[in-house]
A and B are shown apart, each in its own frame.
Chain A
């Protein structure tokens, strides 16, 4: 069974109107359980749209999205995934602990279980001493870690992340990447991860999906095998740089094609 199965999915906004946007055109992608897949591509190529389709926050215009062998709707209703955005999006009026408990509350867990799980999650993101702080008392990186803890609190098999580290500085970002890999390895979570950073995509992923715009589609899928566990040392390996180059070429090729297209039109 695949964790995520996207079959010939198209998505258009404002269908039939003069401002119709073909955000995605016949995109197909399979993600295996436990796999870490990144989506990368220029702004407007439909990465967020694809993620929202998987999350069932949008309905596809055509095609089919399956999550854990169920339809996307059923998967959402069963809360089969957790989600994290660029903005941590924690609730200001809840303590860190209560923020992490939110998805559990909505699932109807009782208080004791919620507290135990929140405690576990705080350990996992290594912020147990901040349980009773409010989000606005935390740094951006800490907030993002809490958001990840919240997304994983119900132990969903799938994690959907849209540029979660986009607002962080380089140092924090690399640290968070390490943390995310550690957490996902510990929980066996499948991840679909949207990013603008090539090194980030390569460092984190088993596969990097390169997308191009107008209409949004997948132009290339790069397998990343860096051998063994990924550590800070991985960033210095030749294989790491080679993968970066491959992804960059994928993005460049598309860019060249694009410029060519522009010339034809003129």
Chain B
């Protein structure tokens, strides 16, 4: 247990060091880089160092404390927090949806070889479709969907796109995990005359857990990306994606502002990953420590 704690402390420390390094590089370049940026064959390859293009890191952070718009009593911080919370809920919904879908598909593929052979290639292809192209489609399909009292809410499109990105790593990782049970343990279950379902729950899923944990971690960050991109490309109000475009429009007058929204998006991703890491630590607490990670 102490080694786990020490390792976590070490990781946190390295994370902070890496973050500090980024800040140092940013500020050093800003101080020393060419004011007009660098050009190669007429194309700009290095950014300009003016405060419009590269505001100071401390300006970005102090921006959090000031009002969102002049005269408003709402700070940027509370606006970003509200946006991040909104997007977090959408991402969580997308993650859950993607998790259920991914796991379900993995089980079907593990159970029936023909499903695996028929479906897996399409799953791989599905991930090459640009999300930007898919987002308006999902919105318009969703808009047409009306089952009884159920009316497709706009936010659901964003969650669906989050799920679309999340389900893939989850399906693939879980499938790999379900197939990872050793031949002898499968024979053992057979010798107990255990049904396929019993074998699934008593052997295959527990064996798959070390494979599912990193898959779900990937899925969690993927769902955040899906939701934020969907918010941006469909213009959904209320989330951090929308804030990023709104603040970006003000970049000429208020260059630090857009970075607050970007930090908000980063914090959102980290929070999502953090939730999964906590769950991970819980489900893996009684496993041998040298197992795959």
Please determine whether B192 and A102 come into contact, CB atoms closer than 8 angstroms.
yes
Please determine whether B191 and A136 come into contact, CB atoms closer than 8 angstroms.
no
The reply on A81 being an interface residue by CB < 8 A is yes
Interface size class of B (residues with CB under 8 A): 20 to 34
Please determine whether A106 and B184 come into contact, CB atoms closer than 8 angstroms.
no
Please determine whether B188 and A93 come into contact, CB atoms closer than 8 angstroms.
no
The reply on A55 being an interface residue by CB < 8 A is yes
The reply on B147 being an interface residue by CB < 8 A is no
Please determine whether B192 and A93 come into contact, CB atoms closer than 8 angstroms.
no
Known pairs A91-B206, A93-B286, A134-B286; A85 contacts B191 (CB<8 A): no
Known pairs A93-B209, A102-B202, A105-B202; A136 contacts B188 (CB<8 A): no
Please determine whether B206 and A76 come into contact, CB atoms closer than 8 angstroms.
no
Q: Which of B190, B193, B194, B203 contacts A91 (CB 8 A)?
A: B203
Interface mask (B191-234 → A, CB under 8 Å = 1, otherwise 0): 11110001000110010010000000000000000000000000
The reply on A71 being an interface residue by CB < 8 A is no
* Chain A residues whose CB sits within 8 angstroms of the CB of B188 once the complex forms: 83, 85, 89
The reply on B144 being an interface residue by CB < 8 A is no
Known pairs A57-B191, A79-B192, A79-B193; A85 contacts B184 (CB<8 A): yes
The reply on B59 being an interface residue by CB < 8 A is no
B178 to chain A, nearest CB (A): 15
The reply on A249 being an interface residue by CB < 8 A is no
A46 to chain B, nearest CB (A): 17
* Chain B residues whose CB sits within 8 angstroms of the CB of A94 once the complex forms: 206
Please determine whether B288 and A76 come into contact, CB atoms closer than 8 angstroms.
no
How many angstroms between the C-alpha atoms of A94 and B188 in the bound complex? 15
Q: Which of B184, B194, B286 contacts A89 (CB 8 A)?
A: B184
B190 to chain A, nearest CB (A): 6
How many angstroms between the C-alpha atoms of A52 and B186 in the bound complex? 13
A124 to chain B, nearest CB (A): 20
Please determine whether A136 and B185 come into contact, CB atoms closer than 8 angstroms.
no
Please determine whether A103 and B286 come into contact, CB atoms closer than 8 angstroms.
no
Which A residue sits closest to B188, measured CB to CB? A89
Please determine whether B206 and A89 come into contact, CB atoms closer than 8 angstroms.
no
How many angstroms between the C-alpha atoms of A92 and B185 in the bound complex? 11
Please determine whether A93 and B287 come into contact, CB atoms closer than 8 angstroms.
yes
Known pairs A55-B191, A57-B190, A81-B191; A91 contacts B185 (CB<8 A): yes
The reply on B187 being an interface residue by CB < 8 A is yes
The reply on A171 being an interface residue by CB < 8 A is no
* Chain A residues whose CB sits within 8 angstroms of the CB of B287 once the complex forms: 92-93
The reply on A28 being an interface residue by CB < 8 A is no
How many angstroms between the C-alpha atoms of A208 and B49 in the bound complex? 86
How many angstroms between the C-alpha atoms of A77 and B192 in the bound complex? 7
A residues with a Cβ closer than 8 A to B are 52, 55, 57, 76-79, 81-83, 85, 87, 89, 91-94, 102-103, 105-107, 134, 136
Ranked nearest first, the 4 interchain pairs of A and B with the lowest CB-CB distance are: A136-B288, A93-B206, A106-B192, A77-B193
What are 10 sample pairs from A and B whose C-beta atoms fall under 8 A apart? A52-B187, A57-B191, A76-B191, A82-B191, A83-B191, A89-B188, A93-B209, A94-B206, A106-B192, A134-B286
